[in-house]
Structure 1
């Protein structure tokens, strides 16, 4: 029996590395404590201000850290967590996502009967989990971040419990999420059994040394065990990013969830899942790229095709955006599968950043315009395409902003969406994935029909007159601009500005994306 005698040596903690997570978790706990100790309910604007300030603070701290040590990895917690350019860029994105989600949700919390302090605390907790996923250097830590993100999202969707669709969406997401977590845990066990470690860097070193010094290492029993573990890890992460065939939950959950939460799901949650996937594949099992690259290519094929075809079949704008989100996940997979190209991961990171702003802006428009039900029983199709007919005549600025965001997702030139699609397709061609690149271009054209149909509907000459019911009700005391909630206007303006600026001047973000992945590319 092994002796366990001897003093316990706690791992050294570099607290400076953990400042963004401490800010997010500390603000969430502080807000819950303050709301529980006060005799009166906190005003909604307090929770919104705290969320915006916390998200901005986390993003600013991450940017400062990046300026100090760049892409050089800085380990803490015995190597279980790493702060490098990759994790810091994703932390900045998560912070920006928190700010935009808080702005969008401020005017919608009353309609969904959601408590502002609870919503803000859950939003910050999920953001902390996303940051942990981006910087996890250990499979156990990655799982903890994954569950922190997921559990908070389950409750965020269910907060609008007066709406039957929200309860149903939360239950579907919870049940399927539990299955995906089980697959992920089983994958961790198999990888540990074949390599003897859960640390991503040590797994990568072990496989590199084994291939280098032992040409007979890949014996069948070890090969199959490791490949099965990698496959199960991809199943768990594929569910989080809604990759086909693990996408069945996404349309129903996106449709039933409150629009601000849907935007967060489609952008930040998806970015965290892809960040974890990139770190696992390239840091831990990069030596097995010959085995997992065909799997990613197959996932990309299926995700691109199913997302684009199903999007054009929808007559509900929210479900259309849900399926288009699946198609966008396929484009990110195209970048990640371009192993032989030096720009594969950086193009995927660029796509994630660009798409996150487009998605949050689009769902912000749905949040302020969509005829959300004010009764307990929701309209069977609150975002029907017919509701958007003639929007340009009633709300010309809102229609123009939505058109820009939709055309950007379609890949129209001079927008961030065009540059993002061009970069991942260029990476696929650089890796000699000519068929995959061709499929990506064809599905981009097919998917453009869904976006153009919404744009043409908004600018149709006929349409209902503005009777005051097209914009959801909000408290009269809240600031408004042009009849729209001011906070939502700010979020939409930010999304459109980023989409256009990155589309015209993409070089800065391209350089940031290239620098960020230097620490994970072998």
Structure 2
């Protein structure tokens, strides 16, 4: 009896980080209900502490499989889990500052964010289509609620409803695609699908290709790849700013984790087909994201279109279908987490109860009134553009190098052109801050949480730009199981 109990508990060891996060979410809900007036100040720090513990648990995970291969713990999953948890920790730190200027319920905000993180971690470790779908829906349902959490803004309700309806439609397409794949292969295990679909009959079966196409379309929706990106600008603009920042990092990283796992591990024999499709979608995404951002006067909406464009860049590594390509995507998503979170942190820093200050005019002369905030925003804009020696440049360099090595020359040329176009709207923010006179005084209060986020973001953007080798080595080692 003793041995049986030990074996049963050991079987749950691979999902300990996910189980711990569920406990953290429940603890936050209970603390919010029963604690005193100090709860609003402590709740974000509970999330941060829990996130740091999970990072330690992920770093110490033993690689292997659980539940008959349905759940995989390997370097690939661990790397994406780290990126997702960085997004959670930073979004929690930003929420305390945002609460001072907006009526954001911190208990619901943090608990929903932690529950969405559970879904993201499950997605990263999914070795089975059903586990993947379970994680995706847990993440999606939590994020739907997060988007609609700010009841005082009518845009928030509209954004949440639009995201929910379109997200539900994408989930239905994904489930239908999975059902086709299951019907033809007789399994939902990703590794077994790769073995079975390589046979002569299935290799040319149009129904299997249709199922794979539906799954790709649903994944494209989750990471805002054109032409499945239409929800992104309105949802990003309408959601509370910390939620927008979190959505642009955590769910996007989890979506790309699934992209790589399913396509590269489950359907490698179809690489010629899905690689060509993704190269076209990547070019379309970069074109729409960068060109549409040129006309935006709202920085928050500009960053939404920027997120679309950067999804196109990250897709360059996936379409290669090689370890080098996947490691470049993994590295880029880590870099993107730091530079994008930093930019959104500046937006939150500028906000006040009566003025969100999200337009270009609000940033006029910021270098004269708040030189520290202007300098940090300039660094983040440089990194998003891809200007050396920031991390954004190194991230794009490795992506382009991987795509070029895989033979996607025209796609690389297009990426360089569209990246050059992006310099206009990113550097326009810098021009407004440094070359315009301030129209009004902006009072900025560096609270502990927002200061930590900005410090970590600067460290990541500059450190990974000057010393990118360690990051690339970690990503490559994660793929090789080292």
Superposition TM-score tier, normalisation by shorter sequence: over 0.9
TM-score normalised to the size of structure 1?
0.88
Say if 2:323 and 2:479, in contact at 8 Å, map to a contact too: no
Q: Deviations over 1:265-309 (max 9, x none)?
A: 111111111111111101111121122111111110100111111
Unpaired runs of at least 5, structure 2: 1-6
Q: Deviations over 1:441-493 (max 9, x none)?
A: 1111001111000011011241224264xx4xxxxxxxxxxx32221111011
1:218 matched to 2:203: yes
Q: Which residue is equivalent to 2:13?
A: 16
Q: Which residue is equivalent to 2:459?
A: 497
Say if 1:75 and 1:81, in contact at 8 Å, map to a contact too: yes
**Bigger-Rg structure (1/2):** 1
Q: Which residue is equivalent to 1:114?
A: 104
Q: Deviations over 1:292-348 (max 9, x none)?
A: 111111110100111111111211111111101111000111111113x54111111
Q: Deviations over 1:107-129 (max 9, x none)?
A: 11243312211111111101111
1:445 matched to 2:426: no
Aligned mates of 2:32, 2:369 — CA distance in 1: 40
Q: Which residue is equivalent to 1:260?
A: 242
TM-score normalised to the size of structure 2?
0.95
Q: Which of these residues, 298, 301, 306, is aligned with residue 319 of structure 1? A: 301
Say if 1:343 and 1:514, in contact at 8 Å, map to a contact too: yes
Unpaired runs of at least 5, structure 1: 1-9, 472-482
Say if 2:147 and 2:156, in contact at 8 Å, map to a contact too: yes
Q: Which residue is equivalent to 1:7?
A: none
Task: Provide the secondary structure at the position in 1 that maps to 2:152.
Answer: coil
Q: Deviations over 1:380-432 (max 9, x none)?
A: xx411111000111110111011101100100111110000000100111011
Q: 1:461 to 1:28 in 2, by over 3 A?
A: same
Matched positions, count? 476
Q: Which of these residues, 335, 341, 366, is aligned with residue 347 of structure 2? A: 366
Pairs within 5 Å for 1:376-455: 382-455=357-430
Q: Deviations over 1:199-234 (max 9, x none)?
A: 1111112224x2xxxx45535xxx111111111111
Say if 2:101 and 2:351, in contact at 8 Å, map to a contact too: no
Q: Which of these residues, 251, 254, 270, is aligned with residue 269 of structure 1? A: 251
More helix by share: 2
CA RMSD of aligned residues (A): 1.8
Q: Which residue is equivalent to 1:96?
A: 86
Aligned mates of 2:122, 2:41 — CA distance in 1: 28
Q: Deviations over 1:122-160 (max 9, x none)?
A: 111011111111110111111111111111111111110
Aligned mates of 1:342, 1:141 — CA distance in 2: 24
Q: Which residue is equivalent to 1:55?
A: 51
